[in-house]
Amino acid sequence: MNEIEEQNEFLMAWNRILDDYDMHENSWIKSIFAIIEKWAYAYVRHEWSARMNTTQLSESFNASLKDYLKSDLNIARFFINFERVVNDKRYKELEAEYNLCYRLVDIKVPAKILNQTREFYTKAIFEEFQVQFLEAIEMSWESCVDDDGSLLYIVTKDESFKKWLVKRKSDNLLSCSCRMFEMKGVLCSHVIKVLREAMNVKDIPDQYILKRWTKQTRVECVQDMHEHEIQADLKLQQTYQYRSLCSIFTRISSMASESEKTYNVAHEHASNLARLVEDILRLEIAGNVLKIGHESQDVNLEVNSIQDSNLIKANGLKKKELSR
Protein backbone atom coordinates (compact mmCIF):
# COMPACT_ATOMS: atom_id res chain seq x y z
CA MET A 1 0.00 0.00 0.00
CA ASN A 2 2.97 2.30 0.45
CA GLU A 3 3.51 2.27 -3.32
CA ILE A 4 -0.02 3.41 -4.23
CA GLU A 5 0.11 6.98 -5.53
CA GLU A 6 -3.55 7.89 -6.11
CA GLN A 7 -5.97 8.44 -3.23
CA ASN A 8 -8.91 6.65 -4.86
CA GLU A 9 -6.72 3.58 -5.50
CA PHE A 10 -5.57 3.66 -1.89
CA LEU A 11 -9.16 3.81 -0.59
CA MET A 12 -10.14 0.84 -2.76
CA ALA A 13 -7.19 -1.20 -1.44
CA TRP A 14 -7.98 -0.11 2.14
CA ASN A 15 -11.59 -1.24 1.85
CA ARG A 16 -10.53 -4.58 0.38
CA ILE A 17 -8.35 -5.21 3.45
CA LEU A 18 -11.23 -4.30 5.78
CA ASP A 19 -13.52 -6.69 3.90
CA ASP A 20 -11.01 -9.55 3.83
CA TYR A 21 -10.30 -9.37 7.58
CA ASP A 22 -13.68 -8.04 8.75
CA MET A 23 -12.12 -4.97 10.40
CA HIS A 24 -14.75 -2.32 9.63
CA GLU A 25 -15.71 -1.88 13.30
CA ASN A 26 -12.23 -2.12 14.79
CA SER A 27 -11.62 0.99 16.94
CA TRP A 28 -7.87 1.09 16.31
CA ILE A 29 -8.35 0.85 12.53
CA LYS A 30 -10.83 3.73 12.72
CA SER A 31 -8.39 5.89 14.69
CA ILE A 32 -5.60 5.20 12.19
CA PHE A 33 -7.87 6.03 9.26
CA ALA A 34 -8.82 9.33 10.94
CA ILE A 35 -5.23 10.56 10.51
CA ILE A 36 -4.67 8.97 7.11
CA GLU A 37 -3.33 12.21 5.63
CA LYS A 38 -0.34 12.00 8.01
CA TRP A 39 1.01 8.60 7.00
CA ALA A 40 -0.44 7.23 3.75
CA TYR A 41 1.86 7.87 0.77
CA ALA A 42 -1.05 8.73 -1.52
CA TYR A 43 -1.85 11.66 0.81
CA VAL A 44 1.58 12.84 1.96
CA ARG A 45 3.24 12.78 -1.48
CA HIS A 46 2.07 16.34 -2.05
CA GLU A 47 4.34 17.56 0.77
CA TRP A 48 8.10 18.14 0.85
CA SER A 49 9.74 15.34 2.85
CA ALA A 50 13.50 15.82 2.20
CA ARG A 51 13.78 12.07 1.46
CA MET A 52 12.78 11.14 5.02
CA ASN A 53 9.95 8.98 6.29
CA THR A 54 7.87 10.25 9.20
CA THR A 55 9.60 8.06 11.81
CA GLN A 56 12.93 7.51 10.08
CA LEU A 57 14.98 9.92 12.23
CA SER A 58 13.71 8.76 15.62
CA GLU A 59 13.90 5.06 14.70
CA SER A 60 17.46 5.42 13.44
CA PHE A 61 18.68 7.22 16.55
CA ASN A 62 16.81 4.85 18.88
CA ALA A 63 18.50 1.90 17.18
CA SER A 64 21.89 3.56 17.73
CA LEU A 65 21.15 4.15 21.41
CA LYS A 66 20.26 0.49 22.02
CA ASP A 67 23.84 -0.52 21.22
CA TYR A 68 25.14 1.56 24.14
CA LEU A 69 22.41 1.42 26.78
CA LYS A 70 21.27 -1.03 29.43
CA SER A 71 18.15 -0.90 31.57
CA ASP A 72 20.11 -0.80 34.84
CA LEU A 73 22.14 2.34 34.01
CA ASN A 74 21.75 5.39 36.23
CA ILE A 75 21.28 8.87 34.78
CA ALA A 76 25.01 9.72 34.96
CA ARG A 77 26.05 6.60 33.05
CA PHE A 78 23.26 7.23 30.57
CA PHE A 79 24.64 10.63 29.57
CA ILE A 80 28.19 9.26 29.38
CA ASN A 81 27.01 6.61 26.91
CA PHE A 82 24.78 9.14 25.16
CA GLU A 83 27.83 11.32 24.49
CA ARG A 84 29.60 8.29 23.01
CA VAL A 85 26.67 7.81 20.63
CA VAL A 86 26.86 11.45 19.53
CA ASN A 87 30.64 11.24 19.04
CA ASP A 88 30.26 8.10 16.94
CA LYS A 89 27.65 9.86 14.82
CA ARG A 90 30.05 12.76 14.28
CA TYR A 91 32.86 10.36 13.34
CA LYS A 92 30.64 8.62 10.79
CA GLU A 93 29.81 12.03 9.36
CA LEU A 94 33.54 12.73 8.98
CA GLU A 95 34.01 9.40 7.22
CA ALA A 96 31.15 10.25 4.88
CA GLU A 97 32.69 13.65 4.17
CA TYR A 98 36.06 12.03 3.45
CA ASN A 99 34.44 9.60 1.01
CA LEU A 100 32.59 12.53 -0.53
CA CYS A 101 35.87 14.28 -1.34
CA TYR A 102 38.13 11.38 -2.29
CA ARG A 103 35.94 8.54 -3.55
CA LEU A 104 33.81 8.71 -6.66
CA VAL A 105 30.76 6.55 -7.20
CA ASP A 106 30.97 4.12 -10.12
CA ILE A 107 28.99 5.09 -13.20
CA LYS A 108 26.96 2.16 -14.53
CA VAL A 109 26.59 3.43 -18.10
CA PRO A 110 28.56 6.11 -19.99
CA ALA A 111 26.40 9.22 -20.06
CA LYS A 112 27.25 12.92 -19.89
CA ILE A 113 24.45 13.65 -17.45
CA LEU A 114 25.81 11.05 -14.99
CA ASN A 115 29.33 12.49 -15.21
CA GLN A 116 27.86 15.93 -14.56
CA THR A 117 25.72 14.99 -11.57
CA ARG A 118 28.48 12.90 -9.99
CA GLU A 119 30.63 16.05 -9.76
CA PHE A 120 28.18 18.11 -7.68
CA TYR A 121 25.75 15.66 -6.02
CA THR A 122 26.57 13.97 -2.73
CA LYS A 123 27.21 10.22 -2.89
CA ALA A 124 23.76 9.20 -1.61
CA ILE A 125 21.89 11.59 -3.92
CA PHE A 126 23.92 10.62 -6.96
CA GLU A 127 23.27 6.92 -6.33
CA GLU A 128 19.53 7.62 -6.16
CA PHE A 129 19.68 9.76 -9.31
CA GLN A 130 21.59 7.02 -11.15
CA VAL A 131 18.90 4.46 -10.23
CA GLN A 132 16.27 6.76 -11.75
CA PHE A 133 18.41 7.29 -14.85
CA LEU A 134 18.77 3.54 -15.42
CA GLU A 135 15.03 3.02 -14.98
CA ALA A 136 14.37 5.74 -17.56
CA ILE A 137 16.25 3.73 -20.20
CA GLU A 138 13.61 0.97 -20.00
CA MET A 139 10.67 3.36 -20.41
CA SER A 140 8.82 4.68 -23.43
CA TRP A 141 6.84 7.88 -24.01
CA GLU A 142 4.34 9.58 -26.26
CA SER A 143 3.07 13.15 -26.30
CA CYS A 144 -0.36 14.72 -26.42
CA VAL A 145 -1.99 18.09 -25.77
CA ASP A 146 -3.78 18.81 -22.50
CA ASP A 147 -7.11 20.63 -22.24
CA ASP A 148 -5.40 23.87 -21.18
CA GLY A 149 -3.07 23.81 -24.19
CA SER A 150 0.03 22.60 -22.33
CA LEU A 151 2.00 19.62 -23.58
CA LEU A 152 1.64 16.27 -21.85
CA TYR A 153 3.94 13.27 -22.06
CA ILE A 154 2.61 9.82 -21.21
CA VAL A 155 5.43 7.67 -19.85
CA THR A 156 5.03 3.90 -19.56
CA LYS A 157 7.17 0.94 -18.55
CA ASP A 158 7.27 -2.12 -20.78
CA GLU A 159 6.20 -4.75 -18.23
CA SER A 160 3.68 -2.51 -16.49
CA PHE A 161 0.31 -1.10 -17.46
CA LYS A 162 0.82 1.90 -15.21
CA LYS A 163 1.14 5.34 -16.79
CA TRP A 164 2.77 8.52 -15.51
CA LEU A 165 1.88 11.96 -16.80
CA VAL A 166 4.68 14.50 -17.24
CA LYS A 167 3.38 18.01 -17.85
CA ARG A 168 5.47 20.57 -19.72
CA LYS A 169 4.57 24.11 -18.75
CA SER A 170 4.99 27.25 -20.83
CA ASP A 171 8.36 27.98 -19.17
CA ASN A 172 9.54 24.44 -20.09
CA LEU A 173 9.42 23.29 -16.47
CA LEU A 174 8.35 19.68 -16.06
CA SER A 175 6.19 18.16 -13.33
CA CYS A 176 5.36 14.48 -13.00
CA SER A 177 2.28 12.84 -11.55
CA CYS A 178 4.51 10.75 -9.23
CA ARG A 179 5.68 14.02 -7.56
CA MET A 180 9.05 12.56 -6.64
CA PHE A 181 10.89 15.83 -7.27
CA GLU A 182 8.38 17.81 -5.19
CA MET A 183 8.78 15.36 -2.30
CA LYS A 184 12.48 14.49 -2.39
CA GLY A 185 14.18 17.03 -4.62
CA VAL A 186 15.52 14.31 -6.97
CA LEU A 187 14.34 13.94 -10.56
CA CYS A 188 12.25 10.85 -11.27
CA SER A 189 12.88 8.47 -14.15
CA HIS A 190 9.82 9.79 -16.01
CA VAL A 191 11.07 13.39 -16.12
CA ILE A 192 14.58 12.20 -17.03
CA LYS A 193 13.07 10.25 -19.95
CA VAL A 194 11.26 13.32 -21.25
CA LEU A 195 14.26 15.61 -20.75
CA ARG A 196 16.67 13.38 -22.65
CA GLU A 197 14.50 12.06 -25.47
CA ALA A 198 11.56 14.42 -25.96
CA MET A 199 13.40 17.68 -25.24
CA ASN A 200 16.93 16.52 -26.21
CA VAL A 201 18.43 17.93 -22.98
CA LYS A 202 21.73 16.21 -22.14
CA ASP A 203 22.66 18.23 -19.02
CA ILE A 204 20.42 18.49 -15.99
CA PRO A 205 19.00 22.07 -15.88
CA ASP A 206 19.93 24.25 -12.89
CA GLN A 207 16.32 24.56 -11.69
CA TYR A 208 16.30 20.83 -10.90
CA ILE A 209 19.49 20.94 -8.79
CA LEU A 210 18.69 21.53 -5.13
CA LYS A 211 21.55 23.20 -3.30
CA ARG A 212 20.95 21.10 -0.18
CA TRP A 213 21.91 17.91 -2.07
CA THR A 214 25.23 19.23 -3.45
CA LYS A 215 28.77 18.87 -2.11
CA GLN A 216 29.11 22.65 -1.98
CA THR A 217 26.65 22.85 0.91
CA ARG A 218 29.22 21.25 3.25
CA VAL A 219 31.68 24.17 2.98
CA GLU A 220 29.21 26.96 3.67
CA CYS A 221 28.23 28.54 6.98
CA VAL A 222 25.21 27.12 8.80
CA GLN A 223 22.46 29.62 9.58
CA ASP A 224 19.52 29.49 11.94
CA MET A 225 15.91 30.23 11.07
CA HIS A 226 16.63 33.97 11.35
CA GLU A 227 19.55 33.71 8.88
CA HIS A 228 22.12 34.34 11.61
CA GLU A 229 25.36 32.40 11.36
CA ILE A 230 25.57 29.68 14.00
CA GLN A 231 28.74 29.94 16.07
CA ALA A 232 30.63 26.67 16.39
CA ASP A 233 31.28 25.00 19.74
CA LEU A 234 35.06 25.30 20.18
CA LYS A 235 35.37 21.86 21.80
CA LEU A 236 33.39 20.20 19.01
CA GLN A 237 35.28 22.19 16.39
CA GLN A 238 38.62 20.96 17.77
CA THR A 239 37.37 17.36 17.72
CA TYR A 240 36.17 17.81 14.14
CA GLN A 241 39.51 19.30 13.05
CA TYR A 242 41.46 16.49 14.73
CA ARG A 243 39.47 13.71 13.08
CA SER A 244 39.48 15.47 9.73
CA LEU A 245 43.29 15.77 9.78
CA CYS A 246 43.58 12.12 10.89
CA SER A 247 41.69 11.04 7.77
CA ILE A 248 43.91 13.14 5.50
CA PHE A 249 47.23 12.07 7.02
CA THR A 250 46.18 8.42 7.22
CA ARG A 251 45.54 8.50 3.49
CA ILE A 252 48.91 10.18 2.84
CA SER A 253 50.72 7.66 5.06
CA SER A 254 49.08 4.75 3.27
CA MET A 255 50.19 6.00 -0.15
CA ALA A 256 53.66 7.21 0.91
CA SER A 257 54.61 3.91 2.53
CA GLU A 258 54.42 2.08 -0.80
CA SER A 259 57.92 3.15 -1.87
CA GLU A 260 61.08 4.51 -0.26
CA LYS A 261 61.04 7.63 -2.44
CA THR A 262 57.50 8.65 -1.50
CA TYR A 263 58.25 7.79 2.13
CA ASN A 264 61.27 10.12 2.20
CA VAL A 265 59.32 12.93 0.54
CA ALA A 266 56.41 12.56 2.95
CA HIS A 267 58.73 12.32 5.97
CA GLU A 268 60.62 15.49 4.97
CA HIS A 269 57.46 17.51 4.38
CA ALA A 270 55.88 16.17 7.57
CA SER A 271 58.91 17.30 9.59
CA ASN A 272 58.81 20.76 8.00
CA LEU A 273 55.07 20.97 8.58
CA ALA A 274 55.48 19.97 12.24
CA ARG A 275 58.05 22.76 12.78
CA LEU A 276 55.78 25.27 11.04
CA VAL A 277 52.79 24.32 13.20
CA GLU A 278 54.91 24.55 16.36
CA ASP A 279 56.14 28.03 15.37
CA ILE A 280 52.60 29.25 14.71
CA LEU A 281 51.32 27.86 18.01
CA ARG A 282 54.28 29.41 19.86
CA LEU A 283 53.50 32.83 18.36
CA GLU A 284 49.80 32.48 19.20
CA ILE A 285 50.60 31.54 22.81
CA ALA A 286 53.04 34.47 23.11
CA GLY A 287 50.42 36.81 21.66
CA ASN A 288 47.79 35.59 24.13
CA VAL A 289 50.20 36.03 27.07
CA LEU A 290 51.03 39.55 25.90
CA LYS A 291 47.34 40.33 25.51
CA ILE A 292 46.59 38.98 28.99
CA GLY A 293 49.51 41.04 30.36
CA HIS A 294 48.10 44.23 28.85
CA GLU A 295 44.63 43.43 30.16
CA SER A 296 46.12 42.75 33.62
CA GLN A 297 47.92 46.11 33.55
CA ASP A 298 44.70 47.86 32.54
CA VAL A 299 42.86 46.17 35.41
CA ASN A 300 45.60 47.14 37.90
CA LEU A 301 45.52 50.75 36.71
CA GLU A 302 41.75 50.80 37.05
CA VAL A 303 41.91 49.27 40.54
CA ASN A 304 44.62 51.73 41.62
CA SER A 305 42.56 54.59 40.23
CA ILE A 306 39.52 53.44 42.19
CA GLN A 307 41.59 53.01 45.34
CA ASP A 308 43.12 56.51 44.95
CA SER A 309 39.67 57.96 44.42
CA ASN A 310 38.33 56.24 47.53
CA LEU A 311 41.36 57.40 49.50
CA ILE A 312 40.74 61.00 48.51
CA LYS A 313 37.11 60.69 49.48
CA ALA A 314 38.04 59.08 52.79
CA ASN A 315 40.66 61.71 53.57
CA GLY A 316 38.23 64.46 52.74
CA LEU A 317 35.60 62.90 55.00
CA LYS A 318 38.09 62.54 57.85
CA LYS A 319 39.17 66.18 57.63
CA LYS A 320 35.56 67.23 57.64
CA GLU A 321 34.96 65.25 60.80
CA LEU A 322 38.04 66.84 62.47
CA SER A 323 36.77 70.33 61.68
CA ARG A 324 33.76 69.62 63.79
Is the model's pTM score more than 0.85? no
Instruction: Name the β-bridge partners of 155.
Output: 141, 164
Asked if 178 and 160 count as a contact pair (C-beta separation under 8 A), the reply is no
167 beta partners: 152, 175
How confident is the prediction along the chain (324 residues), in pLDDT tens digits per residue? 566 767 777 888 888 888 888 888 888 888 888 887 777 767 666 665 555 554 444 455 666 666 666 667 676 777 677 777 777 777 777 776 666 666 677 888 888 899 889 888 888 889 999 999 999 999 999 888 776 767 889 999 877 778 888 998 878 889 898 888 988 889 999 999 999 999 998 888 888 998 888 877 655 555 554 556 555 556 666 776 777 787 788 878 888 888 999 999 999 999 999 999 999 988 888 776 555 555 555 545 554 554 455 444 444 444 444 444
Tell me, rounded to whole angstroms, the distance of Cα 84 from its chain centroid.
21
CA distance 2 to 42: 8
Q: What are phi and psi of 7, to 5 degrees?
A: -65, -40
d(CA 222, CA 227): 9
pLDDT score, position 231:
55
Long-range pairs, 293-300, Cβ under 8 A, ≥24 = none
What is the DSSP-derived secondary structure letter of residue 212? G
pLDDT at residue 260 in the model:
92
Residue 319 confidence (pLDDT): 43
